[in-house]
Structure 1
Amino acid sequence: MAMEWSESLVSLCREMIRRPSLSGQEKEMADFVEQRMIELGFDSVERDHYGNVSGRIVLGSGGRRILFEGHMDHVDIVDPSKWTHDPFGAEVVDGRIYGRATSDMKGNLAASIMAAALIKKEKADLNGEIIVAGSVHEECFEGVASEAIGKRWNPDCVVIGEASSLNLKRGQRGRAEVVLETYGKSAHSSNPEVGLNAVKAMVPLLSAIENEFEPKEQPVLGKGILELTDIISSPYPGASVVPERCRVTYDRRLLVGETDTEVLAQIQKIIDEEKGRNPQLKANVSLAVGRETCYTGDSIEATRYAPGWLFPEDNWFVAAAMRGLREAGLNPELSHYAFCTNGSYYAGKAGIPTIGFGGSLESLAHVVDEYIEIDQLEKACLGYMGIIRSVLG
């Protein structure tokens, strides 16, 4: 392993960590990524209206286009006093780089940028294009900003650089945010009979959903999930007021093929059955809609629905990536992500052959004292280089 590029890679990762980049506040990080891509010899670098940064390298006479995507945003630091290392200090201790977004996922974005630059420098007999993209707003909207990247570049295959412990991920469950609302009639709580309590209308409905919802199951991805994550009445606080509205949010984890229409129909069926038992029930189910502002000033808006995806072991890209990783000296296992990623657009919506691969543990995302091991960072870079050689060779 060439220590010269290893030191450059560690330095690149640390510089990224020192630039906080909450969702919608990625500008400083984007500026840095753009400048480093130019310095490292990318043939062109550009941004889109959301603020995603894409760097392009053309090899030989061109050919297949492989896209490496890593998001530039990260979750917030809830309580800095709980960290023993400065979240944005990028301290190196015992072979680890500490800081917010080291594992999720600036380390692997740095590794993919470095891998592309090193491949170009090698002047190997390869034909094709490498695109490395730093995306925005992933922590809010999996796959939404990615659509702009995908439509700009139309890649033949995609590597999502989320942490995978250097294993090859060939799929993931999807995610939907389901909103259930019941409606009543407001009244003074000293005279409740003239009103209709929306919370009391919600309670039997929640019980019915708990008892009657049957998740589908698939051999690889397991069971779908429907988990209640919050409940709130309106008005709130309801001082001496019978609530006229109650809103519940469910986190719905999706299997391959579960559509937004199907997700809503499952709950609507239970609502309709409950209405048969309680004709007064007024209820509605929908998917949540998210709206945020990008650092460019553009709005980003989407229904909170990100489909699941899974490619067979003999898919050409899965096989090529596995071969490339092994030729790079790694020994990856084949598995799938437990969480949702930007692959929901590339694979789930666009049907583009996609894998996940990156250094670090999946369990280190969003935690206090997040870190990435330098050894994992180096091997991620070697792995990306191996995948490029395998696909474009």
Structure 2
Amino acid sequence: MLNEKQSKEVIELCQKLVRIQSYSGEEKQVGETLKEYFEQNGFDEVKIDSYGNVIGIMKGKRPGKKLLFDGHIDTVPVINEEKWTHAPFGAQIVDKKIYGRGTSDMKGAVAAMACAVAKFSKECDKDFAGELYVAGVVHEECFEGVAARSISEFVKPDYVIIGEASNLNLKIGQRGRAEIVVETFGVPAHSASPEKGINAVYAMSHVINAIREIEPPKHPILGKGILELTDIKSSPYPGASVVPEYCRVTYDRRLLVGETKVSVLEPIQKRLNELMESDDKLKAKVSYATGHETCYTGNSISGERFFPGWLFSKEEDFIENVLGELKDMGFQPEITQYNFCTNGSHYAGEAGIKTIGMGPSDEKLAHTIDEYVEVEQLTKVTECYCGIMKALLK
């Protein structure tokens, strides 16, 4: 159990982080605040990498496993601030809840991770076997798992704990996510003489109908793959009496375990090939969207928007060990899966590192107006993180 001083510490650190606006690419100040906490609370080293990820390092007196706590420090923007009942960067405590952007997603968990590692190490005087890392990760809201690649390359962890909201339940998997771009190419013409051109939007309408017939795969635990159109754009825009020569649509594709970049695009490419064979005027292309952003360090971060799914078995030793320890502490977590994408797409999906998720708050509070984290969940998850360290560093 946390004592009064320890509870106050995690609450105040959460409030301090939330009061700093840190949209993706603007995380410098919140990173410096986290760095300051690491330096003042016995961490052996603090590393800031080229992306601006902040990593606190705590080493035990004996060699052992490397355990990484992962929590992103960027947030989505606040839209329509006037609709918030409580100031989005005020971190006010009302009815035993801390309100503000990032409380649930996920500065509350970051604060709990940092405080848990400090508490665990202090109480045993660092007499444990292994190394503990707490990572404040940048640009997660743009690229799940891209900035995390730099962290795992540096740490090379044996275990990763994702701090995304889980209502204090254990998460052992998630669907991944891909953004798929389909393009059609036409021939421009004056709209008064459309027969002289090829309308790329009409071509795209046939493509969209063909893609709607594709049945994405299903998984007995993770559910449906899902392939949903999310936007459509034509060019030139506005048309100004011009037949559009280009059209682009984007699809959100939720990924299941074992799916690859090739296997996901294959059925779409097959449909496009069939359409182009039957209509020699149709020109279409499918690919993955790519993103490019600038980090607060001035370096660029970019990546193809393909973030794999992952899933571990309940019977894995490391999961059973964590579950057993938490139950011995009086907690009763359910074993479930995240319904959204996390940095686990890299750690577990790409790198195959043993990964679990646990965080305070409810998943549905992420990105919402009047986002909050319950004080009780914040203090309890700090205790849970101590139990996870005990279980995995045996």
**Please, what TM-score do these two structures have when normalized by structure 2?**
0.98
- Tell me the distance in 2 between the aligned counterparts of 1:232 and 1:267: 19
Q: Which amino acid aligns with 1:336?
A: Q
Q: Distance in 2 between matches of 1:180 and 1:318?
A: 40
RMSD: 0.9
How do residues 1-393 of structure 1 correspond to structure 2 at under 5 angstroms?
1=1, 2-123=3-124, 126-211=128-213, 213-393=214-394
More displaced 10-residue stretch of structure 1: 191-200 or 115-124: 115-124
Describe the superposition over 1:54-77 as per-residue Cα deviations: whole angstroms up to 9, x where unpaired: 011112312011000000000001
Deviation at 1:275, TM superposition (A): 1.7
Whole-angstrom CA distance in 1 between matches of 2:234 and 2:195: 18
Deviations 1:322-361 (A, max 9, x none): 1232233211000000100000000000000001101100
Q: Name the aligned partner's letter for residue 211 of structure 2.
A: I
Comparing 265-274 and 109-118, the one that deviates more: 265-274
Question: 1: CA distance between counterparts of 2:195 and 2:172?
Answer: 56
| One-letter amino acid of the structure 1 residue matched with residue 364 of structure 2 | S
Checking the alignment, whether the CA contact within 8 Å between 1:61 and 1:128 is kept in structure 2 is yes
The 4+ residue runs of structure 1 with deviation greater than 6 A are none
Task: Find the aligned partners of 2:132 and 2:63 in 1 and give their Cα distance.
Answer: 10
SS of the equivalent of 2:216 reads: coil
- Which whole-Å CA distance do the structure 2 matches of 1:313 and 1:78 have between them? 39
What is the Cα deviation at residue 316 of structure 1? 2.3
> Letter of the aligned partner of 2:296 in structure 1?
Y
| 1: CA distance, partners of 2:99 / 2:325 | 29
Cα deviation, 1:286-327, whole Å, max 9, x if unaligned, reads 000100000000000100000000011111222222123223
Taking the aligned partners of 2:29 and 2:39, their CA distance within structure 1 comes to: 16
Distance in 2, matches of 1:42 and 1:100, equals: 27
| TM-score (structure 1 length as normaliser) | 0.98
CA distance in structure 2 between the partners assigned to 1:328 and 1:45 by the alignment: 31
Q: Distance in 1 between matches of 2:212 and 2:163?
A: 36
Q: Secondary structure at the match of 2:132?
A: strand
CA distance in 2, matches of 1:195, 1:325: 67
2:48 and 2:325 map into 1 onto residues whose CA distance is 30
Q: Structure 1 counterpart of 2:321, which letter? A: A
> 2:317 & 2:110 partners in 1: Cα distance?
24
Counterpart Cα distance in 2 of 1:327 and 1:144: 36
- Deviation of 1:277 after TM superposition, in Å, equals 2.8
Cα distance in 1 for partners of 2:330, 2:14 equals 23
CA–CA distance in 2 between the matches of 1:223 and 1:99?
Answer: 33
Give the letter aligned to residue 105 of structure 1. Answer: M
C-alpha separation in 1, matches of 2:329 and 2:117: 15
One-letter amino acid of the structure 1 residue matched with residue 89 of structure 2: F
For these two proteins, the number of residue pairs brought into alignment is 392
Cα deviations by residue, 1:59-115 (Å, 9 ceiling, x for unpaired): 231201100000000000111011010000000000000000000000001000000
Counterpart AA for 2:83? K
Distance in 2 (alpha carbons) for counterparts of 1:325 and 1:268 = 47
Q: Aligned partners of 2:116, 2:325: CA distance in 1, in Å?
A: 13
**C-alpha contact (below 8 Å) 1:317/1:354 kept by paired residues:** no
1:115 maps to a residue whose letter is A
Q: Secondary structure at the match of 1:150?
A: helix
Tell me the SS of whatever aligns to 1:227. Answer: strand
Q: Percent identity?
A: 54
Shift of 1:279: 2.1
Whether the 8 Å contact between 1:324 and 1:388 is mirrored in structure 2 is: no
Between 1:355-364 and 1:124-133, the stretch displaced more is: 124-133
Distance 2:318 2:201 in 1: 51
Q: Write the distance in 1 (CA, Å) between the matches of 2:5 and 2:89.
A: 25
Tell me, in whole angstroms, the C-alpha distance in 2 between the residues paired with 1:265 and 1:299: 31
Question: By how many angstroms is 1:166 displaced?
Answer: 0.3
